[in-house]
Amino acid sequence: MGKNDLERRVARRFDGEARGDALNEEALESAEAQAHLAQLQKIRNGIEQVAVRETINDAQFPSFMAGIRERIETPQRHARGLWALASLTAAALIVAVSVFLIFASSRAPGVSTVVEAAESGIAGTTVNTYSSSDGTATVWVTEAQRDIQ
């Protein structure tokens, strides 16, 4: 039986796992097995000495339960959803107003341009002006050889 195998069996016996095992009693009586048992017992005693067992007294209990309730109860709604809804509503309102202004302004009468005076510094030309019904002003310059618009 190897050293690691012996230590593993001694540890199992020490922890109470190997009570019914047919462990070689001579191997357990060896100095090596006894030294390993003593080392395991020292480790267990040391852990028991430094182990801090936390307790909750009556004054701490409400705070303790508040932390538990906070984790298991239905979470409260946060304002994040409210801000997202507000920004979405504002964006939709801006788009609606913009579309309304675009379509409403096309039905309004257009601004017409009126030409009060027109002259040309080109010799031999005449200048005519007129406005159409949609408010477009046109200036027509006529030269003896050709028309200039």
> pTM value?
0.34
Q: pLDDT digits over 92-120, tens only?
A: 999 999 999 888 765 555 566 778 888 88
Q: pLDDT digits over 119-132, tens only?
A: 888 888 888 888 88
Structural domain contains residue 13: yes
Rounded to the nearest 10 degrees, the angle between the axes of helix 3-15 and helix 31-50 is: 50
Q: Which of 16, 34, 50 is the last residue of a domain?
A: 50
Stretches where the chain sits below pLDDT 50 are none
Structural domain contains residue 76: no
Structural domain contains residue 94: no
- Look up residue 81 and give its two tokens: 């959803």
Structural domain contains residue 67: no
Residue 12's domain comprises: 3-50
Structural domain contains residue 26: yes
H-helix or E-strand spanning residue 131: strand 125-131
Structural domain contains residue 75: no
What domain count does the chain have? 2
Structural domain contains residue 21: yes
- Look up residue 127 and give its two tokens: 């200048």
Structural domain contains residue 37: yes
Distance of CA 124 to the CA centre of its chain: 76
H-helix or E-strand spanning residue 73: none
Q: Which of 19, 35, 50 is the last residue of a domain?
A: 50
